[in-house]
């Protein structure tokens, strides 16, 4: 155990003393927050820009009321100027585009003959807005032709807001479900990214020691299994330290942000309130979307998410790191690892696809449940399911299978590692790796 501890300490110290590790540990949260604000700022600026769209209505059906302005679109009537003159002015001026509505014998022909001209390809949101306005007008016109009173139809419309509760009386909402999807997706994506980063870090460390022949000196005093395990645990410890620092920085940034926004954190802890109190709190916060958003965030199982994130990070990382370490020991340089990387990466990629394709739409469906128990995909898929509520029995089964698979994979990878670290000058194949697995002694 003393030799294992020395290897763990060596790997941990070598990792945390690395300049890039120190810089990214403190800069990454700031960069992520800064990028978030930058995206928000750019989106806000883009939405503030008013697009001027001119239209020529030869059908005579549309009025200025039909083309009412929005926050980002301003409509101008150029019907009297004709389509050719309008196209020329749009091309030479600063207009966003020109809409041409021809006169046709039927509404169906008119709907399929409308044209839009612009210098550049128009945005999808702009075209959807214009198409919705035209479709609504043509639909109303057709209803008038059928002798149907549009005013009565508009008056008959009722907006439904379904209140969602679970059987314990706790209220949910579309906002809560959206937050659960977002939290689960971000947690799963970050877990995949960290497993890849720290797993490949172990592989590079093994390749570096092997190519420099330092490994020959090390294995003379320590067993290859302990050497591999020490590398995995040392890198995992550095990763947990980085997570801890990130958590502290994010907590400080969150505290500063909430104080600047004037939000009382005590008011956000509404998990134990009754349904009536929660409804009153939501109505009181209706005018402040930011406060309502934070209120729903604090209703999520944040502590459970954090603990499970640490567990599944360690389980997934150590599972995949053992495979990365075996690959690093089998090759002489990083270029030769490409043929072995795809089988290792496929389960991670599959887990992300399953998470986004099934967990978001049906978190408790058979596919989501099955992949949240398969050890190679459970670290990502289960973490994406946790915000939607997962029983402790399912969690225990998933965690138990992950631990058993990790022990088996470490044992299997160690058989390749003990032979591969002393092999030079020959590119290994899957057939060769299989022979190494059968070596005894």
User: What is the tens place of the pLDDT at every residue in 366-388?
Assistant: 898 999 999 988 888 888 888 77
Determine how many CB atoms are found less than 10 A away from the CB of residue 397.
14
Query: Could you tell me if 186 and 55 lie in one domain?
Result: no
Of 9-23, 396-410, 421-435, where does mean pLDDT reach its minimum?
Answer: 421-435
* Domain tally, the chain: 2
**Residue 163 placed within a domain:** no
Spatial neighbors of 37 by CB under 8 A, at least 6 apart, are none
Residue that terminates a domain, selected from 103, 130, 156: 156
Number of helical H runs and strand E runs in the chain = 18, 6
**Poorest-pLDDT segment among 168-177, 298-307, 350-359:** 168-177
Q: Which of 74, 100, 64, 96 is nearest to 85 (CA)?
A: 100
Among 129, 156, 183, the domain-final residue is: 156
Instruction: Report the percentage of the chain scoring pLDDT > 90.
Output: 3
pLDDT at 275: 44
- Shared domain for 89 and 34, answered yes or no, is no
Domain shared by 347 and 244, yes or no: yes
Pairing of strands 51-57, 73-77: parallel
Using CA atoms, how far apart are residues 176 and 293, in angstroms rounded to an integer?
Answer: 9
Inform me whether the pLDDT recorded for 37 exceeds 50.
Answer: yes
Whether residue 193 is contained in a domain is answered as yes
Average pLDDT, the chain: 79
Integer Cα distance of 75 and 96 in angstroms: 10
Cα–Cα distance between 337 and 66 in angstroms, integer? 62
Q: What is the residue range of 108's domain?
A: 47-156
State both tokens at 410.
Answer: 């470490």
Contacts of 417 (CB under 8 A, 6+ apart): 206, 224, 225, 227, 228, 325, 326, 329
Check whether residue 9 and residue 97 sit in a common domain. no
Question: Can you list the positions of beta strands (E) in 82-174?
Answer: 97-101, 115-117, 164-165, 171-172
Instruction: Please compute the mean of the pLDDT values over residues 122-138 and round it to a whole number.
Output: 87
Q: Of residues 301 and 71, which shows the higher confidence score? A: 71
Q: Are 195 and 313 in contact (CB under 8 A)?
A: yes
Q: Decide if 166 is inside a domain.
A: no
pLDDT tens digits along 81-115: 878 888 888 888 888 889 998 888 888 888 888 98
- Tell whether 165 is covered by a domain: no
From 156, 186, 216, give the residue that closes a domain: 156
Per-residue model confidence (pLDDT) at position 266: 45
How many Cα atoms occupy the beta-carbon half-sphere of 127 within 13 Å?
10
Distance CA 13, CA 238 (A): 8
Per the structure block, which two tokens stand in for 137? 């007008």
CATH number at residue 150: 3.40.190.10
Which helix (H) or strand (E) segment holds residue 76: the answer is strand 73-77
**21 and 98 co-located in one domain:** no
Determine contact, residues 320/192, Cβ cutoff 8 Å: no
Tokens encoding 437: 């697995």
Task: Examine the domain organization and report whether 182 and 304 are in the same domain.
Answer: yes
The structure tokens listed for 383 are: 């973490």
């Amino acid at each position: 155990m003393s030799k294992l501890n020395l290897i763990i300490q060596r790997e941990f110290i070598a990792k945390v003393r690395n300049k890039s590790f120190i810089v990214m540990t403190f800069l990454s949260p700031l960069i992520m927050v800064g990028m978030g604000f930058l995206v928000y700022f750019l989106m806000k600026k883009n939405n503030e820009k008013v697009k001027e769209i001119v239209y020529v209505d030869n059908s005579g059906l549309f009025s200025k009321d039909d083309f009412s302005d929005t926050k980002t679109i301003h409509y101008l009537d150029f019907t009297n100027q004709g389509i050719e003159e309008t196209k020329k002015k749009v091309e030479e001026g600063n207009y966003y585009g020109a809409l041409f509505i021809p006169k046709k014998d039927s509404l169906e022909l008119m709907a399929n003959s409308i044209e839009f001209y612009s210098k550049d390809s128009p945005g999808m949101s702009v075209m959807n807005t214009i198409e919705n306005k035209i479709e609504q007008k043509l639909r109303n016109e057709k209803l008038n032709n059928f002798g149907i009173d549009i005013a009565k139809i508009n008056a008959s419309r009722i907006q439904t807001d379904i209140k969602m509760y679970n059987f314990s009386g706790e209220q949910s909402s579309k906002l809560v479900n959206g937050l659960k999807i977002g939290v689960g997706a971000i947690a799963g994506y970050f877990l995949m990214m960290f497993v890849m980063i720290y797993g490949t870090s172990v592989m590079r460390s093994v390749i570096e020691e092997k190519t420099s022949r330092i490994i020959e000196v090390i294995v003379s005093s320590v067993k290859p299994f302990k050497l591999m395990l020490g590398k995995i645990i040392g890198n995992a410890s550095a990763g947990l330290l980085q997570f801890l620092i990130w958590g502290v920085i994010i907590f400080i940034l969150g505290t500063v942000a909430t104080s600047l926004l004037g939000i009382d954190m005590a008011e956000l802890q509404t998990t134990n309130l009754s349904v009536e109190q929660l409804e009153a709190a939501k109505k009181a916060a209706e005018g402040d979307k930011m406060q309502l958003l934070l209120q729903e965030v604090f209703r999520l199982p944040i502590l459970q998410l954090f603990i499970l994130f640490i567990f599944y990070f360690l389980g997934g990382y150590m599972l995949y790191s053992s495979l990365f370490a075996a690959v690093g020991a089998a090759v002489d340089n990083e270029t030769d690892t490409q043929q072995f990387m795809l089988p290792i990466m496929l389960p991670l990629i599959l887990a992300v696809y399953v998470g986004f394709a099934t967990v978001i739409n049906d978190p408790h469906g058979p596919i989501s449940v099955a992949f949240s128990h398969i050890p190679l995909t459970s670290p990502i898929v289960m973490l994406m399911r946790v915000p939607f509520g997962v029983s402790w029995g399912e969690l225990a089964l998933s965690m138990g299978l992950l631990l058993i698979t990790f022990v088996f994979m470490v044992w299997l990878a160690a058989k390749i590692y003990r032979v591969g670290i002393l092999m030079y000058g020959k590119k290994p194949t899957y057939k060769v790796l299989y022979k190494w697995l059968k070596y005894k002694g």
